[in-house]
Amino acid sequence: MSTTTAGTAPAAPGRRFFFGNVRPGAWLAGALVLGFLLLFLVLPVGRVFYTAFVDADGGLTFGHFGAFFDQGLMRESFFNSLFVATASALFAALIAVPLAYFTVRFQFRGAMLIQTLGVLPLIMPPFVGAAAMQLIFGRSGSLNLLLNEHFGVTLPIMEGLNGVIFVEAIHYFPFILMNLTVALRNIDGAMEEAALNLGCTGWRLFWRVIFPLAMPGFVAGASLVFVKVFDDLGTPLVLGQTNMLAPQAYLRITQVGLEDPLGYVISVIMIVFSITAMALSARMLAGKEYSTIQKGGASIAKRQLSPLGSFAAYGWIFLVLLVVLSPHLGVLLLSLAQVWSFSPLPDAYTLAHYETVFQDAGGMMKNTLLYCGLAAGLDVLLGVTIAYLMLRTTLPARKWLDWIATASLAVPGIVLAIGYLRLFKGVTVPGTDTLLTSTWIVIMLAYAVRRLPYALRSCVAALQQVHVSLEEAAESLGATKMRTIQRVVVPLMAGGILAGFVTSFITAAVELSATILLSSSESQAPMSYGIYLYMQSVAGRGPGAALGVLAIAVVALGTYLSHVVVERAGRQLTHRPVDEVLPALPLAATPATAPAVKN
């Protein structure tokens, strides 16, 4: 005689055969997530690859790639992109490596403030500060005007590709700084002491011991800088440098048309090089050991600088911070400048640019909040779903959802936008005659797909800190799986979910690569596209800078709120008042009450 517990029904044989040990709800959620990723990531990118490798008759061909390398402009753009990306990564390393080493290795006041200021460039997209950098470091900029007046020399900092390298390196070097700082702090101090005992000191100690042990952090940051610069569209366009791959892809699609195969060839090359850069970074670290035995041991010892060393370190750090924070200062001055031409500083100041922005660009601000809010909300929903399917179910091939979602990091925004325009060409919104590609929906979807990995990583990290026994306790009290997720899992993941939402929101707010192709009218344009439009004319640079200041304020506020949320969530997990009132457990049972144990 068989019995079943209350509330549990035996599964039908056919249903158990079809679903296995996985609940139908998990299958449905997995199918919906997979369908979204296929429709809005895999198929658009696949369509780009398909168009690049087929001829007019639908046959396989490599002729488009031959035509690409036969054109001098395309070859020049290809090598220029490689040169700019590599040089930007090297220049960013020259800024980040000493800054990270000084703040971790030596004792001096303001180390935390210096590291915080060093990360500030990330809150401003590079194309926003590019115009302001021209006014400071350009041929007729503040620096060259002063140098020419006092010394009779000028520096070609912003000339040609130099300007792109300079702007990109200053903006993206915090990726190396953050990763390298963490890696340096994780080095076991015993390794350094052993090297010192063997007579290894000074530069040899850094180059042969310290830096090799921190190589994983450096390679991770440098590869990310390379990929970001290689795929960037906004900065070359603002600086007028169109002889690079991303601007050429944009110009081929907008000027020649969607049927031009070279635009798709460029897109394929950009994706391949993004993936190759990530693969090579992993290959460089393969087969080498960077871990230490004493994981809980002390990190490398901080040493006291001599007075002369302190003066030199502070002087160098001040110079570096002055340069890397100059875009922020330049944008602020430009937004307040009434006239700023052939002078070190503006001749007069005004608030008229902000008035113009609030009058003419109010719709762009609303569009930004709408698109980025919906995209971030969709990312959180997908992130929570994928994280739960990965960590709490036995759904077959569930890891593929994570891999596909994370693969969007290697897809440039311009490539995803081209894929949308090609895949959804002629598709109308259900029930209307409006083309899908002419609506703001595709902009929001592009934001969601591009920023999904950020929210996904936050959600996975948050769910990994929630013990499965909490869910089992709720279900043992009669709660359904869905109610357990809503009332137990999601509240415990709230900190990570909100951090993922804010991260997706603030990074989407400054997205230009996909926006510039998908915005069909100014009424649908977000702030990033508005900044680009303003910056196209000299008269519009003031309002463009004012709109850029507002965008920076939005990103900075979002970054601050995300840190506050994560910190509060951490304190709630660390300090639990209920644990303090629990009675102490007895060390051993007394003989009178100890139960007998039967062998």
Per-chain mean pLDDT for the chain: 83
Q: Which residues contact 38 (CB under 8 A, 6 or more apart)?
A: none
Residue 76: pLDDT band (50, 70, 90) is: very high
Q: Do β-strands 348-349 and 337-339 pair in parallel, antiparallel, or remain unpaired?
A: antiparallel
**The pLDDT of residue 300:** 64
Nearest CA to 171 out of 106, 96, 243 is that of 96
Residue 563: pLDDT band (50, 70, 90) is: low
pLDDT surpasses 70 at 39: yes
The pair of three-digit structure tokens given for residue 166, joined into one six-digit string: 């300079």
The pair of three-digit structure tokens given for residue 140, joined into one six-digit string: 């007729």
Buried/exposed code over 410-446 (b: 16+ C-beta within 10 A; e: otherwise): bbbbbbbbbbbbbbbeeeeeeeeeeebbebbbbbbbb
Contact 532, 127 (CB under 8 A): yes
DSSP for residue 4: -
**The pLDDT of residue 105:** 79
- The helix or strand, by DSSP H or E, that contains position 106, with its residue range, turns out to be strand 106-107
Task: Give how far Cα 47 sits from Cα of 68, 74, 420, 455, 593, Å.
Answer: 19, 22, 9, 26, 74
Nearest CA to 165 out of 230, 100, 70 is that of 230
Q: How far apart are the first and last CA of the chain?
A: 30
In which region does residue 107 sit, left (phi positive, over 0), alpha (psi from -120 to 50) or beta (all else)?
Answer: beta
**The pLDDT of residue 8:** 39
- pLDDT cut 90: percent of the chain above it: 32
pLDDT surpasses 90 at 37: yes
Can you list the alpha helix ranges (DSSP code H) found in 509-540? 515-518, 527-534
Residue carrying the six token digits 């996904």: 456
Taking only the tens place, the pLDDT of each residue in 291-329 is 555 444 456 667 777 788 788 888 888 888 888 889 889
Residue 254, Cβ neighbours under 10 Å: how many?
12
Contact 362, 527 (CB under 8 A): no
C-alpha to C-alpha distance for 581 and 95, rounded to whole angstroms: 51
Residue carrying the six token digits 């991260």: 503
Q: 578: burial class by Cβ within 10 Å (0-12, 13-18, 19+)?
A: exposed
Can you list the alpha helix ranges (DSSP code H) found in 71-160? 72-105, 111-119, 126-137, 142-150
Nearest-5° Cα angle at 437, 436 to 440: 85
C-alpha to C-alpha distance for 111 and 117, rounded to whole angstroms: 10
Taking only the tens place, the pLDDT of each residue in 264-294 is 999 999 999 888 888 888 777 665 655 555 4
pLDDT surpasses 80 at 126: yes
Find the mean pLDDT for residues 550-575.
68
Residue 12: pLDDT band (50, 70, 90) is: very low
**Lowest mean per-residue pLDDT among 18-32, 118-132, 281-295:** 281-295
**The pLDDT of residue 163:** 93
Task: Give how far Cα 35 sits from Cα of 228, 382, 408, 413, 456, Å.
Answer: 28, 12, 15, 21, 17
Residue 14: pLDDT band (50, 70, 90) is: very low
**The pLDDT of residue 593:** 46
- The helix or strand, by DSSP H or E, that contains position 339, with its residue range, turns out to be strand 337-339
Buried/exposed code over 462-493 (b: 16+ C-beta within 10 A; e: otherwise): bbeebeeeebeebeeeebeeeebbeebbbebb
What backbone phi and psi angles, to 5 degrees, belong to 326? -60, -35
Please state the separation of Cα 358 from the chain's center in Å. 29
C-alpha to C-alpha distance for 267 and 246, rounded to whole angstroms: 8
Q: Give the residues across from 421 on adjacent strands.
A: none
Q: 146: burial class by Cβ within 10 Å (0-12, 13-18, 19+)?
A: exposed
pLDDT surpasses 80 at 10: no
Nearest CA to 304 out of 117, 109, 113, 95 is that of 109
**Lowest mean per-residue pLDDT among 15-19, 370-374, 445-449, 461-465:** 15-19
Contact 265, 52 (CB under 8 A): yes
Residue 89: pLDDT band (50, 70, 90) is: very high
C-alpha to C-alpha distance for 104 and 182, rounded to whole angstroms: 9
C-alpha to C-alpha distance for 71 and 5, rounded to whole angstroms: 74
Nearest-5° Cα angle at 226, 413 to 101: 130
Residue 453, Cβ neighbours under 10 Å: how many?
21
Nearest CA to 245 out of 444, 406, 418 is that of 418
**The pLDDT of residue 290:** 58
Residue carrying the six token digits 């002063």: 146
Find the mean pLDDT for residues 549-565.
75
Residue carrying the six token digits 């006014």: 135
**The pLDDT of residue 419:** 94
Taking only the tens place, the pLDDT of each residue in 148-170 is 988 989 899 999 999 999 999 99
The pair of three-digit structure tokens given for residue 94, joined into one six-digit string: 């020259």
What backbone phi and psi angles, to 5 degrees, belong to 302? -85, 135
**The pLDDT of residue 576:** 46
Q: Do β-strands 303-304 and 348-349 pair in parallel, antiparallel, or remain unpaired?
A: unpaired
Contact 459, 387 (CB under 8 A): yes
Residue carrying the six token digits 């398909």: 50
What backbone phi and psi angles, to 5 degrees, belong to 349? -120, 150
pLDDT surpasses 60 at 349: yes
